[in-house]
């Protein structure tokens, strides 16, 4: 009976994998972001999972995340490589302008410097700040990220990419189970891609975090829930372009731009519009 039960669960898991990927990559229009992938309320903290079902769950989550990451990696790969090179160039420069800079520089200064250098190269890059109010369910807060807008050569269509320079770190949980740590280790250090791929990843990883917290019998804080995580990269944001003087100097920017042009060996598949960042209040 154990073998038959395992085959039945495995078949159901594989059958639903492709459907789940399609759902996650579609636009989330239900608004039911306080429920898990299986429709179970977030408040239920019991976990009586059978060992076989537990193994199959984590294997299916890993396969599901990998499927989404495959979709992500196939989208604008040349652009992603070029932007990643920009980030590395900035990291090698003296980008932190804080009064008391840390050893590796603060992420806020890093974001501003990356936006400045991308704009210098002709990208339409914007520093964004998501803000949300305190409610009974969630604490209020803010989060910075970067938005890049480009247009395709063939369709003349704008493509909006979100950039998170600490993407993997957003999901790290010290007391999580080993399977969750393994899942998070698959995430890219930087996220540079479309919003729908980001939302799909958040769906999978936040559901896995909930499962891990249940197994460890640890309360899951509201800042770990999917709806809270999605607010960090929400569309209702303030967008601004920082001044060049507040990050890298002009000489450093010119030197970094030259280094990037020398490092790039192929033309990008996207055409960038050199334009200042739009300010939205």
- Residue-wise pLDDT for 82-94, tens only, equals 999 999 999 998 8
With respect to residue 105, please indicate whether it lies within any of the assigned structural domains: yes
With respect to residue 172, please indicate whether it lies within any of the assigned structural domains: yes
With respect to residue 7, please indicate whether it lies within any of the assigned structural domains: no
For residues 229 and 21, give the distance between their C-alpha atoms in angstroms, rounded to a whole number: 19
**pLDDT digit string, tens, across residues 254-263:** 344 444 444 3
With respect to residue 52, please indicate whether it lies within any of the assigned structural domains: no
DSSP per-residue letters across 23-56: HHHS---S--TTB-TTS-BTT-------HHHHHH
Of 93-97, 161-165, 184-188, 199-203, the poorest mean pLDDT is in: 93-97
Confidence of residue 279 (pLDDT cuts 50, 70, 90): very low
What's the structural domain count of the chain? 1
For residues 68 and 136, give the distance between their C-alpha atoms in angstroms, rounded to a whole number: 33
**pTM of the complete model beyond 0.95:** no
Confidence of residue 269 (pLDDT cuts 50, 70, 90): very low
Report pLDDT for 268. 32
With respect to residue 97, please indicate whether it lies within any of the assigned structural domains: yes
With respect to residue 215, please indicate whether it lies within any of the assigned structural domains: yes
With respect to residue 192, please indicate whether it lies within any of the assigned structural domains: yes
Look up the domain containing 241 and give its range: 72-271
With respect to residue 145, please indicate whether it lies within any of the assigned structural domains: yes
């Amino acid at each position: 009976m154990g073998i038959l039960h395992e085959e039945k669960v495995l078949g159901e898991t594989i059958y639903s994998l492709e459907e789940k990927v399609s759902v996650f990559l579609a636009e989330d229009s239900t608004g039911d972001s306080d429920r898990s992938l299986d429709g179970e309320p977030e408040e239920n903290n019991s976990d009586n999972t059978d060992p076989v079902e537990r193994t199959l769950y984590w294997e299916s989550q890993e396969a599901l995340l990998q499927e989404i990451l495959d979709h992500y990696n196939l989208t604008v790969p040349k652009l992603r490589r070029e932007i990643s090179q920009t980030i590395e160039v900035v990291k090698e420069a003296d980008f932190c302008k804080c009064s008391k800079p840390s050893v590796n520089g603060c992420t806020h200064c890093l974001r501003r410097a990356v936006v400045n250098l991308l704009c210098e190269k002709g990208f339409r890059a914007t520093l964004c700040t998501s803000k949300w109010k305190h409610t009974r369910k969630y604490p209020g807060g803010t989060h910075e990220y970067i938005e890049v807008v480009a247009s395709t050569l063939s369709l003349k269509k704008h493509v909006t990419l979100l950039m998170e320079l600490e993407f993997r770190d957003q999901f790290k949980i010290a007391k999580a189970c080993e399977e969750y740590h393994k899942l998070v280790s698959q995430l890219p250090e930087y996220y540079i891609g479309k919003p729908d791929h980001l939302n799909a990843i958040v769906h999978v990883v936040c559901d896995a975090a909930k499962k891990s917290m249940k197994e460890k019998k640890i309360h899951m804080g509201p800042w770990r829930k999917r709806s809270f995580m999605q607010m960090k990269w929400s569309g209702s944001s303030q967008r601004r372009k920082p001044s060049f003087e507040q990050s890298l100097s002009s000489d450093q920017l010119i030197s970094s731009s030259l280094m990037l042009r020398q490092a790039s060996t192929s033309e990008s598949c996207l055409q960038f519009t050199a334009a200042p960042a739009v300010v939205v209040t």
